[in-house]
Structure 1
Amino acid sequence: MRKVLSIAALLVGASVAPALAADGPFFSLRNTDFVVLLAFLLFIGVLIWAKVPALIVRVLDARAETIRAQLAEARALRDEAAALLASYEQKQKEVQEQAARIVEVARREAEAAAEKARADIETSVARRLSAAEDQIASAHKAAIKDVRDRAASVAIAAARDVIAGQMDATKGNKLIDDAIKTVDAQLH
C-alpha cells in the first residue's frame, strides 16, 4: 500500500506544472496527457491488484441474488395475496348467499305470521259476530217474551174488566180462571 501511495504522490507532484506539458515529446513526465494516461493506468492497475473488479462482481452478484430473492418473495406474496383475495371473495359470496337465504326465510315467516294473524282475526271476528248475533237473538227472544207477558197481562186485565162488568161474580170467576189457564198454557 505504501508503494501505491508513493507512486501516486510522484504522479501528483509531476502534474503540478501543466504549462510545461505542452512542449516536448509525448512520453515525458512534463506532458500532462501522458501523466494522466499513466495515472489512469496506475489507477486501473491498483484496482485490479486490490481485486476490486472481483469484489464489484461479488457485490453485484450478491445484489442480484438479493433482488432475485426479493422478486421470488414478492411473487410468493402476490400469489398468497391472490389466494387470500379469492378466499375472501368466496367467503363474501357465501355470506351474501346466506344473507339472501335469511332474508327469504324471514320474508316467508313474516308472510306466514301475517296470514296466521289474518286467520286469527277472521276467527275472532267470526266469534264476536256469532256472540253478538246470539246476544241479539237472546235479546229478541227476551223482548218477545216480555211483550207476550205484558200482552197477556193486559189481555187478562182487560178480559177481567169486561167479564166482570157482564157477568155475575160466580160466573165471572170461573171464566177468569179458565182464561188464565188457557193463556198460561199457550205461553208456556
Structure 2
Amino acid sequence: MLSDPTFWVAVAFAIFIGILLYVKVPGIIAKQLDDRAERIKNELDEAQKLREDAQAMFADYQRRQRDAMATAEEIVAKAKEDAEILRKESEAELEATLKRRQEMAEAKIRQAEEKALAEVQSLAVDVAVAAAEKLMKENIKAKEGGALIDQSIKDLGSQLN
C-alpha cells in the first residue's frame, strides 16, 4: 500500500483538504460569494431605483408637455380673440371714417349747390339788370319791355348751360 501511487494521491488529497480547512478556505470562498451576491443585489436595487426615477421623470415630462400644450392652446385662443376684437375695432373705425368722408362729401356737394344757386341768382340779376338797362337805353314801351324781359328770362337757361 505504501508503494501504491493511488494511496499517495489519496493522502496528498486528504492533506490538501486538511490545509484548506485549516486555512478556512471554504469560509473565505463563501464570504466572497456572499459579498458578490450582495453587490449584485445592490446593483439590482440601484437599477430598480433608477428605473423608478426614470419613470417618474418621464411622467413629469409628460405632465409638463400636457401643461405646455394647454398653455399654447390658451395663448392661441387668446390671440384669436384679440384678433377678432381688433378686426371689429378696425371695421368700426373704417365705418366711422367712411361716414365722416361721406358727410364731408355731402357738405361739399351742398356748398357747391349753394354756390351754383348763388351764381345762378347773380346771373339772373345781371341779366335782369342788363335787360333793364337795355330797356332804359332804348326807351321802349312797357309792353315791348315786358316781352324783352320775358325773352331774357328764356335766354337765361341757355346762358347757364
Identify the TM-score tier after normalising by the shorter chain.
Answer: 0.7 to 0.9
Give the C-alpha shift of residue 167 in structure 1.
5.0
Alignment of 1:29-178 (within 5 A): 31=5, 36-166=9-139
Deviates more, 1:94-103 or 1:159-168: 159-168
What does the per-residue CA deviation read over 1:11-68, in whole Å, with 9 as the maximum and x for residues that have no partner? xxxxxxxxxxxxxx7x635x4x655555444433322221111111111111111221
User: CA 1:36 to 1:117, structure 2 compared with 1: closer, same or farther past 3 Å?
Assistant: farther
Q: TM-score, normalised by structure 2?
A: 0.76
Larger radius of gyration: 1
Does 1 or 2 have the higher relative contact order (CA < 8 Å, sep 6+)? 2
Q: Which amino acid aligns with 1:92?
A: Q
Distance 2:22 2:11 in 1: 16
- Higher mean C-alpha deviation, range 148-157 or range 106-115: 148-157
Aligned to 1:28: 3
How big is each residue's C-alpha offset from its partner over 1:122-141, in whole Å with a ceiling of 9 and x where there is no partner? 11011111111111111121
More deviation, 53-62/37-46: 37-46
Give me the whole-angstrom Cα distance separating, in 2, the residues matched to 1:116 and 1:35: 113
Give the alignment's Cα RMSD to 1 decimal: 2.2
Q: Please list every run of 5 or more consecutive structure 1 residues that lacks an aligned counterpart in the other structure.
A: 1-24, 169-188
Identity of aligned residues (%): 36
Give the Cα–Cα distance (whole angstroms) in 1 for the partners of residues 51 and 82 of structure 2: 46
- Structure 1: how far apart are the matches of 2:107 and 2:70? 54
Aligned residue for 2:91, secondary structure, equals helix
